[in-house]
Structure 1
């Protein structure tokens, strides 16, 4: 079992921009300055930032980048597989995850924190359940649980 808190700073250092250019190019996107800054911000901000949080980070380096550009770029990252959109109980607020590895999310309704959760045993249970019970005429390819609750002190 692995838990990773939304409020802890990223363990990764500042990403190398040459590597970010390669990731964008490999995903079929042009490596523009704006895209590099947005991807870098998504990776260095703790947890699962909103587009607004990414925008606040990006404009520190490039004040002309609009919030609309950040939204469109983050959506293009999701479409290209560079990030994932994360459900939250905050209504229409979209949050993003730069970790595209298979994992689940625990949502604390008190702190609004999203905690990454990985557990191979849980994944095996879910795969076995759907292999046995199925979903009618639907074949799942991937899954991610979103569990809402409260931290226990």
Structure 2
């Protein structure tokens, strides 16, 4: 499972590494200005922007999607996970059966994984500011975002009296 998740994360990084193009160009320009004219003042700023774009923006996105991926891998009825990707968005679509409780866990897995990693980063390196990228993923549970809509739909299915899978999954499932 870990190798599959790491491979999935590497594929996401390669697909969306274009996000690093502008910060890398800025860093390259800052170094060029330093070498050519002795103007080294912009290099720390350029390095900070690159670190936030790579570890913060892109890293938190990869952790978020890998959280969903790991949770889907734990669902017994899911036989495959299809990745639907556009320029700015990636969605994971499970193929097979998924209960309402499993759907709720999958919806929460991405933002909660980022929240946990953000809290760890905040306590380990609070002065870096990188934790905000991860903690902000908790906002994706708002109803206007996909994770929030999926969580609300799962809760509605759980609370529906006619739904056969409204009981929490037991250990003998």
Confirm or deny a common fold (TM above 0.5): no
Q: Shorter-chain TM-score: which interval? A: 0.3 to 0.5
The structure in which a higher percent of residues are strand is: 1
- TM-score w.r.t. the length of structure 2 is 0.30
- TM-score w.r.t. the length of structure 1 is 0.33
Higher relative contact order (CA 8 A, sep 6+): 1
The structure in which a higher percent of residues are helix is: 2
